[in-house]
Amino acid sequence: MNLHLVGVNHKSAPVEVRERLAIPEWKLEEATRRLLEYTGIRECVVFSTCNRVEFVVSTEGGVALDGFIGEYLQTDVSQIRDHIYEYRGDEVVRHVFRVAASLDSMIVGEPQILGQVKQAYNIGKAVGSVQSNLDALLSRALSVAKRVRTETAIGSSAVSVASVAVELAKKIFGSLQGRNVYLVGAGKMSELAARHLRSHGADTIFVSNRTHERAQQMAESVSGSAIHFDRLYETADQADIVITSTGAPHAIFRREHGEMFMHRRKNRPMFFIDIAVPRDVDAAMSQVDGIFVYDIDDLQQVVEANVSDRGREAERAELLIEEEVVRFRRRIQSLDAVPTIVALQNRVEQIRQAEVERLRAKLGNLSPEQQSAIDNLTRSIVNKIVHPSISALKSVSGSEQLIATAELLRNLFGIEDESVRRNGTSSVGKRDKNPASGENKQSSSEDNRESEVTQKATSRR
């Protein structure tokens, strides 16, 4: 299997380049199908979001994806060469894991990318472009993403204005159960924040707007109740959280209103979220005891601080990804029956030789004929014993079953993982008739050398 990835993302390319390569959602399926038909490609998947366009393929030999990009997207690749990155082998695994775990996202830890990876995966399965290799890669990527999410705090802090509003409200009120929300002005953002608060337990939502019809519409959509704008000051003290987003040129809530509210509320705290520009809540309001005012800039700052917190968590996630890349490599190698067979044969041969060696001292001087007779006898015994296992392994179909059988055999015969890995890599390298690139050749010959060293070490033992 040769994995190969070509793509651009928000870091490598400006939007002008990304939009030239971008494939709209409705065309993803067609693009995947076309890529699959391209010469040399056995499996493929296409990611295209507003921050990235990536083509992941599994090939038998090498393939020039530039050709496909040039043909399908009618773009001269040489012009944007500097913006394109290319990965092979393990690098592809690492990159796909990082993308799915949202480590490569513009906002690290944002959850949408996982859905987009899933979508590409499903399209690939439907089209038939995702089979054993990419299936293993993508399904692993999804579970790695899940692991990163549960084992690091990468997605835990709020990084949108609406979720920051909820986070702040919780710092003040603890539980939002039974709290009332007042929307002053009927904007999209305040609606979003209100929905978010509601989903965290907030109780009644009041909506007030200069044009009452708009308030009624909004109240309906958030299942709240609309209140006439001229009753705003009489009713606002019933709310624990007030979200303002009117287009008024002057502040609607001033200090004296705040003092009045606090008096009526017996000083129970009140939280103003002001997302209007110009601001709807006067700055002096926050001097009133028990009133907390956060304007759009404050919320934005919290968002930014949380984003940098995520950066720290991302470092932990990177370590986790490294671990998963190694694990995946091993797993992929066990997908190939050959290394397990080789390891199995090596293992029994090793035992046979050791036992013969031990016996030799007892038997005294043997003639060469006698010696070869012993060798032949023992060899044929061990071969007969392992033969059914090997043919069973060869006859297994389906990747999951193959892995299970190979693992079972390795356990039964006490074959260490390490030897399989080393032997596996080298045998894959040997079997590669047509290595995709110089880089690949080099790595497989390196692995050969490595396995030689291992063999020497074993024989010395």
In the complex, the residues that contact other proteins under the rule CB under 8 A are 168, 170-175, 265-269, 286, 289-290, 292, 294, 298, 301-302, 305
At residue 81, what is the residue type?
R
SS3 252: coil
Is 56 within 8 Å of 3 (Cβ atoms)?
Answer: yes
Bridge partner residues of 254 (DSSP):
none
E strand residue ranges, 246-289: 270-274
Rounded to a whole number of angstroms, the minimum distance from the CB of residue 18 to other proteins is 34
Preceding amide of 339 cis, omega within 30: no
How many CB atoms are closer than 10 A to CB 291? 23
Alpha-carbon Rg for the chain, nearest whole angstrom, is: 32
Q: Rounded to 5 degrees, what angle do the CA atoms 428, 434, 435 make?
A: 65
What 3-state DSSP class applies to 424?
A: helix
Task: For residue 50, indicate whether it is catalytic.
Answer: yes
Q: Select 89 or 155, whichever has its Cβ closest to other proteins.
A: 155
Q: How far is the CB of 152 from other proteins (least distance, A)?
A: 15
Q: Which of 71, 70, 41 is nearest to 56 (CA)?
A: 41
Per the CB < 8 A criterion, the answer to whether 207 and 186 are in contact is yes
Nearer to other proteins, 100 or 251 (CB): 251
CA distances 171 to 151, 165, 248, 269, Å, are 24, 10, 29, 12
- Could you give the CA distance from residue 1 to residue 9 in angstroms, rounded to a whole number? 25
Nearer to other proteins, 306 or 389 (CB): 306
- Cα separation, 112 vs 120, in Å, equals 13
Taking the least distance from each CB to other proteins, the nearer of 88 and 265 is: 265
Cα gap 62→89, rounded to integer Å: 12
| Catalytic residue (one of 11, 15, 37, 50) | 50
- CA dist 442 and 436 (Å) reads 11
Specify the residue, 272 or 328, whose C-beta has the smaller distance to other proteins. 272
CA distance 71 to 128: 22
- Nearer to other proteins among residue 295 and residue 447 (C-beta): 295
- Which position has the token pair 């392994």? 393
Using the CB atoms, write b or e for 394-418: b if 16+ within 10 Å. Answer: eebeebeebbebbbebbeebebeee
- Residue closer to other proteins by CB (options 157, 340) is 157
DSSP 8-class letter at 77: G
**Which C-beta is closer to other proteins: that of 128 or that of 269?**
269
Minimum distance from CB of 167 to other proteins (Å)? 8
CB 10 → other proteins: shortest distance, Å? 28
59 forms bridges with which residues in the sheet? 2, 41
Looking at 129-226, list the stretches that DSSP marks H as alpha helix, in order from N- to C-terminal side.
132-151, 161-173, 188-199, 212-221
Q: How far is the CB of 252 from other proteins (least distance, A)?
A: 20
Q: How far apart are CA 452 and CA 80, in angstroms?
A: 43
Contact 193, 182 (CB under 8 A): no
**Residues noted as catalytic:** 50
